[in-house]
Structure 1
């Protein structure tokens, strides 16, 4: 029971980390384009399936498509995304210059990171609620002693506290990344 509980909570933290990777800091990061898809032969596919994404300089992302014919589609997809980036192309590769973040934009990104963190906390608390409901059901159905039920719920709470603290640590690290000029 506790292994499955921890596994579900770990997945919440992993999902948090991958979602936070899409938030832009001052440095270029290929994960920035993870949520953006490009139209490729009638299907919407992630960038990593149509080309190579590299970071040649700290503030430049470079996409080298496997087929030169989709460069226009790549540019359109980036412009359509809510990342606020302007791609440039030389016919061979697409370059994305990441502009310096303003103080206001940094504060917005910190708020967004905190919102994402709160979603992760809620997810972990929901997992805790499900586990506690299962223990209560087990106590009622199997005549589990009340002190054993309480001990199980305390252990569930300790596991929850551990993962909530991990979420807080991840969010704090991301905030420092965003606010570092």
Structure 2
């Protein structure tokens, strides 16, 4: 019973780490990366649709992202979605494709981006700690229901703390790598 519960909470912590990694990927680091478009939804025939589902996204050079819609009527909707997003880049539309030019990052902008990824990192760690808290509550309820002994709960606490520490270290490693990427550009 205990092992199954560990697997559930371990899976939740891994999902939190994956979520932080996805947040980091959405932060542009001065070079074109299609992941910055992941969160942008386009109103396509009345339903919100990810850009990647209605257009081909390519990088003709390191600082330009090119979006070529498969349906030419979606061009204006994609452009509107990009303008309304928090990307901070004005799209250029030539009637067939949309281009996003990523400017060289200034020192101030890099520092702002580092602050942003640190917030994402901290939010991920909070999520991991909340999962640990939920797991401990679950195990304490099992103890009250006489399904677990006090020793089992103590062991569970130690194992959960170890799992939490490992998850936080993974998030920290992701943070360090992303900070290096942002500051090296």
TM-score norm. by structure 2 comes to 0.93
Counterpart for residue 123 of structure 2:
119
Q: Give distance in 1, aligned partners of 2:75 and 2:148.
A: 64
**What is the number of equivalent residue pairs in this alignment?**
181
Counterpart for residue 166 of structure 1:
170
Alignment of 1:180 onto 2:184? yes
Q: How far does residue 76 in structure 1 lie from its aligned partner after superposition?
A: 1.6
Poorly superposed stretches of 4+, deviation over 3 Å: none
Deviates most, 4-13 or 41-50: 41-50
Where structure 2 has 5 or more consecutive residues not aligned to the other structure, the ranges are: none
Aligned counterpart for 1:68 among listed residues 65, 72, 97: 72
Q: Give distance in 2, aligned partners of 1:74 and 1:102.
A: 27
Aligned counterpart for 2:151 among listed residues 147, 154, 157: 147
Relative to structure 1, the CA distance from residue 68 to residue 136 in structure 2 (aligned partners, 3 Å threshold; closer, same or farther) is same
Alignment of 1:135 onto 2:139? yes
Where structure 1 has 5 or more consecutive residues not aligned to the other structure, the ranges are: none
Q: How far does residue 28 in structure 1 lie from its aligned partner after superposition?
A: 0.8
Deviates most, 69-78 or 163-172: 69-78
Counterpart for residue 29 of structure 1:
33
Counterpart for residue 80 of structure 1:
84
Q: Give distance in 1, aligned partners of 2:113 and 2:58.
A: 23
Counterpart for residue 109 of structure 2:
105
Task: Write out aligned runs for 1:89-100 (5 A).
Answer: 89-100=93-104
Alpha-carbon displacement from aligned partner over 1:64-109 (angstroms, at most 9, x marks no partner): 1011122222212111111111111222211111011111111111
Alignment of 1:10 onto 2:8? no
Alpha-carbon displacement from aligned partner over 1:92-141 (angstroms, at most 9, x marks no partner): 21111101111111111111101011111011001000111122222222
Q: Give distance in 2, aligned partners of 1:145 and 1:94.
A: 62
